[in-house]
């Protein structure tokens, strides 16, 4: 498949999740997202209200990262954090599932957690993305988490936070797409810095990309002469 610049830009979550990000960094992030036509800005919950205001009148969504980057908070805490982000104006959120519980193969817990978080999104009428952090998982664990998603039906399953020991791998994207079913999309994130990286993930089945390298990706596509 041949992707256009606007198609790819519209699949990018333009990301700044750094602990030291300032108001000026978020202002720049939002300006870049509008200029390049990115799908959303991906940020921690604190600057959600600021970014929602900065993006007012644009098509760029304000995202929020919940229980980020470890996922080691209770279900109740994750729900409360997501609900607070919704009140502040987030239009979608990505949450980190409890990787330790997944490693224990406590799949009932993972399903309860996923159902609770998806319910927050459904009540608000927004998108929920579940971060697996695949670098810590076996193939069996990825498959089981994807099968749970197939039942619960969040909007997306996502490979990585970008803060783990490795980022997105195309084989993991393909595996997640296969087992999450036709109603759940796949977001690839972590280590996607070039158009070659992005293209590999799209070819594997991703329909959303989380990256802080979105500008480079789009400029590389333009340098190749790909259609706008």
Q: What is the pLDDT of residues 1-36, one digit of tens each?
A: 889 999 999 999 999 999 999 999 999 999 999 999
Question: What separation in angstroms does the CA of 107 have from each of 154, 177, 196, 208?
Answer: 16, 19, 35, 26
Q: Give the range of the structural domain holding residue 172, as residue numbers without chain letter.
A: 5-223
Report if residue 101 sits inside a domain.
Answer: yes
Report if residue 35 sits inside a domain.
Answer: yes
Percent of the chain with pLDDT over 70: 100
Average pLDDT of 119-147?
98
34: enclosing H helix or E strand: helix 23-36
Report if residue 228 sits inside a domain.
Answer: no
Question: So what's the pLDDT on residue 106?
Answer: 98
Report if residue 73 sits inside a domain.
Answer: yes
Angle subtended at Cα 154 by Cα 32 and Cα 165, rounded to the nearest 5 degrees: 65
Catalytically annotated residue among 169, 177, 187, 199:
187
Q: Kindly tell me the burial class for residue 34, based on how many C-beta atoms sit within 10 Å of its own C-beta (0-12, 13-18, 19 or more).
A: middle
- Backbone φ and ψ of 76, nearest 5°: -60, -40
Catalytically annotated residue among 94, 129, 170, 199:
94
Give the count of domains, the chain: 1
Q: Is 94 a catalytic residue?
A: yes
Percent of the chain with pLDDT over 90: 99
- According to DSSP, the residues that pair with 128 across neighbouring strands are 93
**Per-residue confidence band for 117, with pLDDT thresholds at 50, 70 and 90:** very high
Q: Is 129 a catalytic residue?
A: no
Question: So what's the pLDDT on residue 1?
Answer: 82
217: enclosing H helix or E strand: helix 214-223
**Per-residue confidence band for 135, with pLDDT thresholds at 50, 70 and 90:** very high
Looking at residue 136, what DSSP letter applies?
Answer: G
DSSP string, 162-183: SSSSS---HHHHHHHHHHH-TT
- Domain CATH for 84: 3.20.20.70
Catalytically annotated residue among 78, 129, 158, 177:
158
**Mean pLDDT computed over every residue of the chain:** 98
Average pLDDT of 104-126?
98
Report if residue 29 sits inside a domain.
Answer: yes
Q: Is the pLDDT confidence value at 37 over 90?
A: yes
Q: Is 158 a catalytic residue?
A: yes
Average pLDDT of 151-157?
98
């Amino acid at each position: 498949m041949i992707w256009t610049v606007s198609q790819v830009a519209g699949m990018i979550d333009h990301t700044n999740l750094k602990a030291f990000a300032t108001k000026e960094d978020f202002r720049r992030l939002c300006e870049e997202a509008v200029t390049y036509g990115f799908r959303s800005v991906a940020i921690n919950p604190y600057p959600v209200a600021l970014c929602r205001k900065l993006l007012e009148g644009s098509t760029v969504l304000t995202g929020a990262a919940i229980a980020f980057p470890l996922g080691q908070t209770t279900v109740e805490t994750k729900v409360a954090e997501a609900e607070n982000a919704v009140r502040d104006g987030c239009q979608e959120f990505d949450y980190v599932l409890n990787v330790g519980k997944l490693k224990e193969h406590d799949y009932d817990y993972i399903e309860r957690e996923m159902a609770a978080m998806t319910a927050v999104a459904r009540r608000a009428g927004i998108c929920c993305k579940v971060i697996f952090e695949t670098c810590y998982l076996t193939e069996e664990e990825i498959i089981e988490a994807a099968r749970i998603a197939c039942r619960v039906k969040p909007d997306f399953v996502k490979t990585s936070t970008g803060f783990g020991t490795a980022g997105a791998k195309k084989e993991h994207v393909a595996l997640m797409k296969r087992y999450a079913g036709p109603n759940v999309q796949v977001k690839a994130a972590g280590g996607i810095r070039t158009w070659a990286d992005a293209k590999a993930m799209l070819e594997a089945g991703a329909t959303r990309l989380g990256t802080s390298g979105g500008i480079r990706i789009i400029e590389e596509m333009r340098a190749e002469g790909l259609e706008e």
